[in-house]
Amino acid sequence: MNLKNLFILATCAAAVASCKNDAKKSGKSDVTGWAYNSKEQGGYQVSREKEQHTGPGLVFVQGGTFMMGATEEDVMSDWNNVPARKTVNSFYIDRTEVANIHYREYLYWINNVFDADEYRAVRDGALPDTLVWRSELAYNEPLVEYYFRHPAYNYYPVVGVTWKQAYDFCLWRSDRVNELALVQKGFINKTTLKNIQGQGSESFNSKSYLMGLTTPTPGNSVRSKKNPLKNPNGTPRTTVTFEDGIMLPNYRLPTEAEWEYAALGLVGQNPSPSRKEGKRGEELITNKQVFSWSQNVNGLRDTRRGAWQGTFLANFKRGNGDNMGVAGGLNDRAVYTAPVTSFYPNAFGLYNMSGNVNEWVADVYRPMNSVDNDDVSPYRGNYYQNDFKNKDGEFEKDSLGRVKRVYATDAESITRRNYQKANVINYLDGDSLLLGVKYGYGLTTLISDKSRVIKGGSWNDRAYWLSPGTRRYMEEDQASSTVGFRCAMDRVGSPEGNGRKTGIDYPTRRQNTRKR
C-alpha cells in the first residue's frame, strides 16, 4: 500500500470516527430514533446534559431527613415547634446574611433604572427603615444616621428591611445574575450593563426574556459559527431558552424547613460522608443538636489545644444589660450586629445561622406548621398564580418589566386532583379540626395571613432563640433592627451535588435471546 492510499485510508477512518463522535455527542431519541440537533431530521435541539453551577454568594446544601422543631426543653412554653420528622430537598443558600453594601447596590440600580417621576413609589418603597434603631429609652440616633450608609458598616447585615422588600431583593438579584451570564456568553451586548440609566420597564427580567417580551441587544458572538446554539435550520440562534442550561433558577427566600435544616448542619455529625461517586456515607445523625455550630451534644467546637474553648461562637445577649462583656475582655466583641463573616461557620460553611440578626424565611406563620405540613419540602404560604393573558391570548409585561401574573381562581382549580383552591395559606392548619372552630386571623388573633416566620436569634436575644428549632413571627410589612435575611435557590438535578448520579445504578443483566 503506497503512502497516498494509506493517507486516504487514515482520512476515511478519522472521518468515520468523527461521525461516530458527532452522533454520540448529538444523540438520538430513544422513542423515535430521530437524531437530535439535526437539521435533516426535524432540527429538535437538545442541550448536552450539564450540571447546575453555583450562583454568586451561594453554598450547596445537600438535602436529607431531620427532626424539625425544638430539640431541648421548651423553657418558653411556646408549643409552636413540636418536633416532627421532615425531609428537605437539596438547595442552595447564601453563605452569609445580606449586608448593607449588597442592599445599597440594589438601591443604586433601582435609582438609576427607575429614575422617572412615575417610579417615585418604587424607589421609596425599596428603602430600608433606618428608624427601627430608635428606642424610647436609649440613645441610638448614631445608628439611625450612619449604620446603613457609613463604609464602616459595609459588611454588617442589613436591617430595617420588611419581608416584602427582602422578597423583591431576591427577584432583582435573580435578574442581575442571569443578565450577566448572558452577557458573558455573548448573547447580550455588554454595553447594556453600562447603559442602565432610565431603562425602566425595558430593563432585563429573566422570565420576560424567556417569554420573548424583552429583547435586549444581542452580543457580537451570537452570529458567529462558534455559537453552540442553533435554530432548526442549523443557523446560529440569537436567544437563549431555559433548556440551554445557561440561566439559573430564581433567587428566593428559603423556606423555614430549608433554613432550619441548613442551620443545623447535621452533615458535620456524619462519621463517613460520601466523598466520591459509587460510595455512600453512613445514614446517621449522632446527636440531637441545640445550636448551629455544634458538633457534639454539649455544643462545643474546639481545636486539639482547646483554643476556642469558652469563647463566644455567636453574637447574642448573655443576660440583662450584657451585650458584649467587660472592657478589656469583650465576650462577643459586638454590642449590636457584627460583620456577616464573623464567628465560626457551621458544617455547611454558613455564617451566623445562630445570632447576629434574625432572618426572614418564606413561610406564613402558624403555631402548628410542623404537624400540618407535608413530609417532603414542607412550606406554608402557597397562593398559586398564573401568567396573565390579554384578550388576544398574549402575555404582557407590567410597568417594572416583569411578566404580569394573576392569582388562580377556585373555579379553575376545583377539578384538579392535587388542590382545589388557589389560596391554600390556611389549608389544614389545625384549627378546623377542633370541632369546626377557626381562628379569625388578623381579627381575633395577633396572627394573620401576613405573619411571616423569623428564625435564628439576634444580637439582642438570649441564647434560647439561637437554637434553629425556635421560631417567632412578624408581619411581612414590618421591619426591625434585629431582623435581616439571606437568599436561597432551588437545586436542579442530582440531590447529592454535581458529578453525582441520582438513584443507584446496578450492573445490567443481559437478556437471554437464545431461540428455543
Highest mean pLDDT among 12-16, 162-166, 490-494: 162-166
Residues facing 490 on adjacent strands: 91
- The domain that contains 274 carries what CATH number? 3.90.1580.10
What pLDDT shows up at residue 12? 46
Residue 480: is its pLDDT beyond 90? Answer: yes
Residue 270 belongs to a domain: yes
Average pLDDT of the segment spanning 191-205: 92
What pLDDT shows up at residue 13? 46
Whether residue 78 contacts residue 71, with contact meaning beta carbons closer than 8 Å, is answered with no
What pLDDT shows up at residue 302? 52
Tell how strand 358-364 and strand 451-455 pair up.
antiparallel
Residue 213 belongs to a domain: no
Residue 80 belongs to a domain: yes
Nearest-angstrom CA–CA distance, 392 and 107: 36
Residue 141 belongs to a domain: yes
Tell how strand 483-484 and strand 358-364 pair up.
parallel
Whether residue 88 contacts residue 79, with contact meaning beta carbons closer than 8 Å, is answered with no
Residue 459 belongs to a domain: yes
Looking at the chain, the number of H-run helices and the number of E-run strands are 9, 14
Total number of domains constituting the chain? 1
Q: Which residues contact 306 (CB under 8 A, 6 or more apart)?
A: none
Residue type, 171: L
Residue 112: is its pLDDT beyond 90? Answer: yes
Residue 87 belongs to a domain: yes
Three-state secondary structure call for residue 464 = helix
Q: Is 344 exposed, middle or buried (0-12, 13-18, 19+ CB in 10 A)?
A: middle
What pLDDT shows up at residue 283? 72
Q: Specify the DSSP class assigned to residue 395.
A: B
Nearest-angstrom CA–CA distance, 362 and 489: 12
- What range does the domain containing 336 cover? 53-185+246-379+430-490
Residue 447 belongs to a domain: yes
> What DSSP assignment string belongs to 309-369?
TTS--S----BTTBSSEETTEESSS-SS---TT-S---TTS-S-SSSSSEEEEEEEP-TTH
Residue 59 belongs to a domain: yes
What pLDDT shows up at residue 264? 92
pTM: 0.88
Question: How confident is residue 274, by pLDDT bands cut at 50, 70 and 90?
Answer: low
Question: How confident is residue 5, by pLDDT bands cut at 50, 70 and 90?
Answer: low
Residue range 43-100, pLDDT digits in tens: 888 887 788 999 999 999 999 999 898 876 667 677 788 888 999 999 999 999 999 9
Residue range 167-196, pLDDT digits in tens: 999 999 999 999 999 999 999 999 999 999
Question: How confident is residue 8, by pLDDT bands cut at 50, 70 and 90?
Answer: very low
Q: How high is the mean pLDDT of the chain? A: 85
What pLDDT shows up at residue 160? 98
Choice among 265-274, 359-368, 374-383, 408-417 with the minimum mean pLDDT: 265-274
**pLDDT > 70 fraction of the chain, expressed in percent and rounded:** 84
Q: Cell 437524531: give the residue.
A: 35
